[in-house]
Amino acid sequence: MSSKGADPVTAVASLEDGAADEYEVGKVERRGIELIPESERPMRPSDLFWLWAGAIWNVEFLVYGALIVSFGLSFAQAVAAILIGNVFYVLLGIASLQGPETGTTAFGVSRAPFGRNGNRVPSLFNWVTQVGFEIEGIVLVVLVAEAMFQRGGITAGTGLKIGLIVVAVAIQFIMPFLGHATITKVLRYLSFVFIIVFAIMAVLVLPHVHLSSYHKSATWEIWTTAVVLIVSAGGLGWTENGNDYSRYLPRATSKAKTLWAATLGAAIPSILLELLGAAAFIVSPKVTAVTGVPSSFASWFFWPFLILALPQLFAINTMDLYSSGVTLQALGIPVKRWGAVIIDTVVAGAITALVIFKGNFYTDLSGFLDYIVVWLAPWFAIIFVDYLLRKGRYDRLALLKERGGVYWRDGGVNWKAIFSLFLGMAAAMMWIDAAFYVPSYTGPLSSATSGADFSWVLGMIVGGLAYWILSFKSVPAELSMHPIQKG
């Protein structure tokens, strides 16, 4: 690959001592946003599949399935929303293709369309999003622990709650701090355990599901809101993490294998868990809260379920905390990957305390999932269109240059991408229905369609189309001016 105009001091992946980064379980991964050399990419597509499976075989997705039924959907409507919504895990697969090609993270790749400085804008949005998911996970861990204490006859007062938050944050810190190799290996083995737990839950709940006695049905407008939740928590909601985990795949890895490993590894457990959650809601509406899930199963299952729910929640939160760390680096914060993990752990822990003592967690969660698609949909569309326009070819060294290079453009900013992002966000806000959340807002198109929510669709179409119109000549011109050699 050409390094024309590149500064090897700032662009080539480097470590403190210049030695190779050891990709071993239990050792701290020292590389963050830096390029991963071909010689240090031992990952296989099957590893990517099980990494995502280990994260998604998770009680959170059981709750998502129950939440959409709580909107008033019939079981058939819930099934349709789950099946259609999870098709969009293919977006995660697409968002994992650039990692093997470049050897860098999602928001390292994002510098190609946005420029090094322009990329700080979506990087900031993503950092806030990732920290939000981290907070969600830690809150759920604390709520599960509180339920366990309450079952044992101990009421969680202020002191105990603070203690639980501190312990949860400390445990959560471990895997993201160690890094990619540890996360990949641990999630692979945890996925097998979680599959067994799912099978037990299915055996316990399905005999008690009586669809003949469940007669609710929602309008199609409410159904679209349910689809937004599934898409946001699923395929679209993970696109900003994709390349963070696929970058350890060799560059020669088949694009089809990369795409399907990420897509199916996440989609299969998501569909099965959400369907089980929808069925469990019919047995007991308490299943919309993690701590209420055991009420849908046999009474003896309370302790096994909650004990196993804890590592599940820590596992999925690991993905967000790892990604938030490398995103902090993409923002330009001069900190090493493991240092960024420390910063994000402290921030997430502090805000978790506010959420725990404030209450209204599940309402806040639904609102959070609804709003994040406003920036995420157009950002993904821009990344995808840019990938197509440059035919999947990147100047890897230029992605890390501090100044100059093909992606520098106007002072490190590509205003075409920035304009497209905010135009897409404005379009998404036109068709969003967040009337029951804080802040409460209903877009004019949503109002005109009785509360329908197609924010993510409109944001993606407008953002991607705007970038294509503005860039369909300039991006190919960049390639011709800065040819990239194969190899």
Burial bucket for residue 487 (CB in 10 Å: 0-12, 13-18, 19+): exposed
Structural domain contains residue 255: yes
Q: 269 falls in which pLDDT band (50, 70, 90)? A: very high
Question: Residues 168-194: pLDDT tens digits?
Answer: 999 999 999 999 999 999 999 989 988
Tell whether the model's pLDDT for residue 201 goes beyond 80: yes
**Is residue 383 in some structural domain?**
no
Alpha-carbon 221 to chain mean position:
26
**pLDDT tens digits, residue range 78-107?**
999 999 999 999 999 999 999 999 999 999
Q: How far apart are CA 393 and CA 100, in angstroms?
A: 11
For residue 482, is it within any domain?
A: no
What amino acid occupies position 382? I
Q: What was the pLDDT predicted at 143?
A: 87
Q: What confidence category does residue 8 fall into, taking pLDDT thresholds of 50, 70 and 90?
A: very low
Q: How sure is the predictor about 482, in pLDDT bands with cuts at 50, 70 and 90?
A: low
Residue at 447 is within a domain: no
Mean pLDDT of 203-225: 90
Residue-wise pLDDT for 16-39, tens only, equals 334 455 688 899 998 899 999 998
- Non-local CB neighbours of 28 within 8 Å, separated by 6+ positions: 177, 178, 179, 338
With respect to residue 387, please indicate whether it lies within any of the assigned structural domains: no
58 lies in a domain? yes
Q: What is the pLDDT of residue 258?
A: 98
Task: Give 113-167 pLDDT, tens digit per residue.
Answer: 999 999 999 999 999 999 988 988 898 899 899 989 988 899 888 899 999 999 9
Contacts of 351 (CB under 8 A, 6+ apart): 131, 135
If DSSP codes are grouped into helix, strand and coil, which group holds residue 413? Answer: strand
Closest CA to 459 of 232, 215, 203, 210: 232
Please check whether residue 65 lies inside any domain of the structure: yes
Instruction: For residues 162 and 160, give the distance between their C-alpha atoms in angstroms, rounded to a whole number.
Output: 5
- Identify the domain containing residue 238 by its residue range: 8-364
Residue 366 has pLDDT above 80, yes or no: no
Task: List the CATH number of the domain containing 57.
Answer: 1.10.4160.10
Sequence letter at residue 447 = S
Residue 113 inside a domain? The answer is yes
pLDDT in tens, 418-470: 999 999 999 999 999 887 776 788 999 999 999 899 999 999 999 999 999 99
Helix, strand, coil percent content, the chain, rounded in steps of 5? 70, 0, 30
How many domains are contained in the chain?
1
